[in-house]
Structure 1
């Protein structure tokens, strides 16, 4: 893959200078598009919208008012994005998963994610096996801590209170059929109030898109649409419609009128194409944008 971008806003010149973005045909298309009933954009990879680091007091107060109306499934990590460990995993496998994910807590399951056993904390693993303790006879069971199990409709304020009372900082979201639908940590909930909490492991998470040598762009579906347009210089939504869709994945779902399948190509009215690279029947998580040829040529000339 090519140069990775870090997701921070950068000054960019919109591709609207080619004169096509304000054409009557395109304007008419978006007028029809945004009159349609939108699908649940949160379930197409939009659940992880980032708040501005260090929210102001006004923003925090507004977020506190939203606690009563914000549901767990509005902020949870989608099932497709959950990193978990099987309970028969070797010590080397557990260590490798922690290292690659940079997470400090991971859910543990038997056979499938729909059979969760608990969670393992990196600290417990390190204290037991990280200081010369033999790996022979490794068992993950004694290291497991309890999880909370909550419905998707639960308010995040209620879940935050439950986590604090139980001293359990991870919850699995369970759907009406008893299957695992998502995952929430206490950090996810706190970030809904105070904004993004960054640490040294968050840098890789911020790398939301990368430009490929052929001029295409591979991006996470949850990347903020406005930031993506600013950084790439590609206008995907007319300015007067910018407030009606938040993420790149949300735009693709609107264009398709449904959640597209893996490998499907979705056309953009300006001549660009989106290819679905990853996801499941309820959401997309990664996609490829193939800009129209003149945009690729312009980007190459600017380098």
Structure 2
């Protein structure tokens, strides 16, 4: 009778051990599923609840997994003591510990986690109901554990779970990059997404047309002069200044000239002054970020702004097209020629570049890296190297590049011939 009872007890222990091991596998798998599954999918599944419900489910999974593993370890020890009563207790404990560790690692941790990593959504769907039951049963304990964890995280300078964003721009960019690698997202689409998030860090100064390149007209010029300027330069919006370009008083739109001609004909164009049809300009600081400017353009329904420096002088102009080009690259219209981003390929490794071209654009278009510089354009970079305004024909070697000035005036560099040298050429020097 005692033997049968003892045998029955051992069978029950084995059944309980197998059950606990299965639970350990389930909680381990659900833990991995919660951390591996797309956060957006988790949010969509729990959209009626707090986005931080996931954190509580994860905590419930961790608590239950540790509890189950502890029970599993205890039952294994009891089973081994019953089976090997004649052996030394320390030896039995050692055997039990090794056996427990192997079983938990293989069947309770490694295998279920590998599976859950590959099939995270499937695992989450199967474990979701049980996790929510555990989360409700362990509610007070989970709140206490999360509160303690948040205090520790804050103590070390981190961000509490309830304050942290559920999904960050870095998460989205990482997902997009993975999509590009897998071929599910086009490279150009990926660039647009990445540049969209960079807009909040990009200042107007980095994308504006600088003061020296601004096409503007004096307020007392005639509409005929304005019409000729629009036709010659190809711009549909022209800033209007009083006395000098630091005192811009408005903006003229080409469509307003068309409207005037439709009403009054062309005879009065030479008599009518530009200042009579100007619109109020929008002034923005050069330090404003591009994302904010885009919102202003949208709210005010305008496409151009005058950029001012810290002293109130005109630093340049910025248009909606400049912002769009920052997102999708150069936009070619009927007034643009074959140059892309101010870069024209001459031969295999030689390019003719407008000196006002941003260094970031050159790096992106030609897949090269410049040494760190505080200047944003090729002109500023070369002025830093020459420490003066170079003359036409002057040349200089910098790292992998050979620069030759092909067009310049007394106060600015205009065009540069840039040759990308091979590594072996540098090593021979």
Residue equivalent to 1:173 = 307
| Distance in 2 separating the partners of 1:129 and 1:161 | 33
C-alpha distance in 2 between matches for 1:109 and 1:205? 30
Q: Structure 1: 5+ residue runs without aligned partners?
A: 1-53, 212-216, 230-238, 292-303
Distance 2:252 2:390 in 1: 32
The CA distance in 1 between the partners of 2:250 and 2:243, in whole Å, is 13
Q: Are positions 1:113 and 2:245 aligned together?
A: yes
Gaps of 5+ in 2: 1-185, 420-429
Of residues 113, 118, 129, the one that matches 2:261 is: 129
Alignment partners' CA distance in 2, 1:138 and 1:97:
15
**Residue 100 of structure 1, CA deviation:** 1.4
Match in the other structure for 1:255: 385
- Cα shift at 1:121: 0.7
**1:263 to partner: Cα distance:** 3.4
Alpha-carbon displacement from aligned partner over 1:49-70 (angstroms, at most 9, x marks no partner): xxxxx97221111011101100
Aligned residues of 1:262 and 1:278 also touching (Cα < 8 A)? no
Using the size of structure 2 for normalisation, the TM-score is 0.44
Deviation at 1:94, TM superposition (A): 1.3
Tell me the number of residue pairs that the alignment of Structure 1 and Structure 2 aligns: 218
- For 1:28-54, what per-residue CA distance to the aligned partner results, in whole angstroms no more than 9, with x for missing partners? xxxxxxxxxxxxxxxxxxxxxxxxxx9
Counterpart position of 2:91: none
- Tell me by how many angstroms 1:140 deviates: 1.4
Contact 1:267–1:274 (CA under 8 A) maintained in structure 2: no
Quickly say closer, same or farther: Cα 1:271–1:174, change in 2 above 3 A.
closer
1:271, 1:59 → 2: CA distance?
29
Indicate the residue corresponding to 1:72 in structure 2: 204
Correspondence for 2:405: 274
Cα distance between partner residues in 1 of 2:300 and 2:274? 22
1:94-109 mapped onto 2 (5 Å cutoff): 94-109=226-241
The answer to whether structure 1 residue 198 and structure 2 residue 332 are counterparts is yes
8 Å CA contact 1:268–1:274 kept in 2: the answer is no
Distance 1:159 1:225, change over 3 A: closer
- 3-state DSSP of counterpart to 1:123: helix
Q: In 1, distance between residues paired with 2:402 and 2:334?
A: 39
Cα shift at 1:249: 3.5
User: Whole-Å Cα distance in 2 between the matches of residues 55 and 290 of structure 1?
Assistant: 27
CA deviation after TM superposition for structure 1 residue 194, in Å: 3.0
